[in-house]
Amino acid sequence: MNLSDTKAKLSFSNGSPDINLPVYKGSIGPDVLDIRKLYGQTGVFTYDPGFMSTAACESTITYIDGDKGELLYRGYPIEQLAEKCDYLDTCYLLLRGELPNATQRADFHKLVLQHTMVHEQMQFFLRGFRRDAHPMAVLTGLAGAMSAFYHDSIDIHNAQHREIAATRLIAKMPTLVAMAHKYGKGEPYMYPQNHLSYAGNFLHMMFGTPCEPYKVNPVLEKAMDRFFILHADHEQNASTSTVRLCGSSGTNPFAAIAAGVACLWGPAHGGANEAALNMLEDIQAMGGVAKVGEFVAKVKEKNSTVRLMGFGHRVYKNYDPRAKLMQKTCNEVLAELGLEKDPLFALAKALEKIALEDDYFVQRKLYPNVDFYSGIVQRAIGIPVKLFTGIFALARTVGWIAQLNEMIADPDYKIGRPRQLYVGPVRRNVP
């Protein structure tokens, strides 16, 4: 780590001696105070629930400037990756640090697309679930179950195992998501077709049936691929931090990814795309665009528990760059499907306009996040609302695994073990 020119000194009012804290600088972004020796030197902990001011690791993968609304994967702006690369190029970049050259690209695409099939026994495992189970409950189970099916790649301390597990996870998640969908619908599973693109194959497994040939629509294929790119990684968000913490105990990669899937499910995180679409449908049922003002007023009420889903972000205090790209994709998909007059899209635009002009949202720097438009895109493609977060999990798997592998490959990594401020009863005796 590079020391910054800034010096930091911590003083106490109780007569304890001052201590100097090292300050490190990254390649961009805020400096960090190194407090690792704080407890040993002073006997105090820092207190930061929700990690509002805490960097939990050093990373070279993703950078976000929340004030500017900038997102970089390995230094490349998300806008350029979305225009010039496909999802598997992005996976290669996140996992290996550089974009692939032509040979590396062909080899990587072939490698991933050859691993798309899952163990045949997986479908019998799936049968244990109720047909109406939420796909995220199913997917958490399936991701964890992979460790029971692929024993030969579960040693997290073995670099080769980590690489095989990464390939398997990226290749098989679309198959598992599509299987969860087909199981819920009571339709036969569709085996992957490895001549198709990653996104095209996913659409085929989701919407194809054995009864007739399925033709991949290139506009929807591109939209799906873009969705995957935009969701591929997002530095130390809740699910990624969960994967890192889980993996820090030395557990196997499949178990750590299952923990990430479980965390992503929550409506404050990946579940927000499902919640945003449900919210739009509720407003539509109330009367549509005419009721937007009433809904916004409800959100703004003091002590209101109603939030404008798909708005706000812990890091972005400006327009989420992914939301802009998703809005463009939304226009393309709706035009392709002849749904330009889609009432939910019109509603989303009206809601966005009011919120962007309203003092409540402006003062709190609440802007649309990626989930605001992604639900409309997925719904137009024909994806059921309950599956939205599962598709997010599919796309984020590469980020989770890249972050996990980065942590494990660091010789200095330690098991994650936060401390606490205990405010419960002091020692007492049972009467």
Binding stretches for ligand ACO (CB under 6 A): 268-270, 272, 299, 307-314, 364, 366, 369-371
Least Å distance between CB 308 and ligand ACO?
A: 4
Pick 109 or 396: Cβ nearer ligand ACO: 396
Nearest approach, Cβ of 237 to ligand ACO (angstroms)? 6
Q: At closest approach, how far in Å is the CB of 306 from ligand ACO? A: 8
Q: Which is nearer to ligand ACO, 247 or 270 (CB)?
A: 270
CA 10 to chain centre: 36
Distance, CA of 392 to CA of 227 (rounded, Å): 8
Reported as half-sphere exposure (CB side, CA atoms, 13 A), residue 149 has a value of 20
Question: Shortest Cβ distance from residue 259 to ligand ACO (Å)?
Answer: 16
Q: Whose Cβ is closer to ligand ACO: residue 334's or residue 370's?
A: 370
Among 241, 199, 193, residue whose Cα is nearest residue 217: 199
- State the residue number with the nearest CB to ligand ACO: 312
Q: Is the CB of 59 or the CB of 389 nearer to ligand ACO?
A: 389
Q: How far is the CB of 362 from ligand ACO (least distance, A)?
A: 11
Structure-token match 């659409």, residue found:
203
Q: How far is the CB of 87 from ligand ACO (least distance, A)?
A: 17
164 vs 315, beta carbon nearer ligand ACO: 315
Which residues form the catalytic set? Answer: 313, 371
Annotate 43-82 with three-state secondary structure: CCCCCCHHHCCCCCCCCCCEEEECCCCEEEECCEEHHHHH
What residue type is assigned to position 155 of the chain?
D
Nearest CB to ligand ACO, comparing residues 286 and 297: 297
Least separation, in Å, of the C-beta of 266 and ligand ACO?
A: 9
- Identity of the residue, 184 or 399, whose beta carbon is nearer to ligand ACO in the bound complex: 399
**HEC sequence for the chain:** CEECCCCEEECCCCCCCCEEECEEECCCCCCEECCCCHHHHHCCCCCCHHHCCCCCCCCCCEEEECCCCEEEECCEEHHHHHHHCCHHHHHHHHHHCCCCCHHHHHHHHHHHHCCCCCCCCHHHHHCCCCCCCCHHHHHHHHHHHHHHHCHHHCCCCCHHHHHHHHHHHHHHHHHHHHHHHHHHHCCCCCCCCCCCCHHHHHHHHHHCECCECCCCCHHHHHHHHHHHHHCCCCCCCHHHHHHHHHHCCCCCHHHHHHHHHHHHCCCCCCCHHHHHHHHHHHHHHHCHHHHHHHHHHHHHCCCCCCCCCCECCCCCCCCCHHHHHHHHHHHHHHHHCCCCCCHHHHHHHHHHHHHHHCHHHHHCCCCECCHHHHHHHHHHHCCCHHHHHHHHHHHHHHHHHHHHHHHHHCCCCCCCCCCCCCCCCCCCCCC
| Nearer to ligand ACO among residue 185 and residue 364 (C-beta) | 364
Q: Tokens 């802009």 map to which residue?
A: 324
Closest approach, Cβ 389 to ligand ACO, in A, equals 10
